[in-house]
Structures are given as structure tokens and as C-alpha cells.
Amino acid sequence: MTMVNLEHLAGRRVLSQRGKSIGYIEEIRAEPDGDDFVVTEFHVGIYAAFERLSASAIGVAVLDLFRLRRRDGLYRIPWDKLDISDPARPRLLCPMTELSIMKSAPDFRD
């Protein structure tokens, strides 16, 4: 199990397998596991930053204003698809075609 301080990952640029930047880690999702929390996915791209705002009517209006609610190129990366062994340079472990593209309205699981 890899243990990394989340503050070392938040805001870091994520690189594809080919070394191309695909965006920045804007949100890190985790679930309780006993007394600990386990990361389930990373949200990469500007959409993730606005996702938290979208719980309000103002947040949804901002997303719509900038046409971010249905924009391609903003990703949910499962925990096991991101190499975080070097927290300063997180890198995808899969082709970008395997990533879930955030196209729909925000996820309100919280």
C-alpha cells in the first residue's frame, strides 16, 4: 500500500503515459475503511474545481456560463490508474481512452 500525504498531490499536474499534461488534480475522493480513509478516485481538470460549487444554484449557473457541465477532457481517474509513487509527478498508468470523461451533471454522492 502506498501512503502519500494528500497535500502533496492536490493541485499537481497529471501526465499521460506519453508525458502530455491532461490537467491538474482538483479533487481527491476517499471512502472510510475502518479508522482510515482510502482514495477511490482523482478528479482532474477545471470541472472538478467547480463541481463543489455546483451544489448551489450559483455554482450551476457558473458551470453553465462557462459551458463546463458538458465539456470533454475533464476526467475521473480511479485510484489504481494513477502512479503517485512520485507525488510531484503523478502519471497515468492507462491510456486516456480508459478514463471516465465527466460529461454529465455533477456527482452529488456526498
Collapsing DSSP to helix, strand or coil, 81 comes out as helix
pTM of the model: 0.71
Angle at 24 between CA 20 and CA 6, to 5 degrees: 125
CA–CA separation, 93 and 105 (whole Å): 27
CA–CA separation, 19 and 10 (whole Å): 19
Average model confidence (pLDDT) across the chain: 78
Q: Residues 38-66: what's their mean pLDDT?
A: 68
Residue 30's DSSP bridge partners are 39
Whose cell is 478516485? That residue is: 41
CA–CA separation, 14 and 3 (whole Å): 18
Give residue 109's pLDDT band: very low, low, confident or very high (50, 70, 90): very low
pLDDT at 106 > cutoff 90 = no
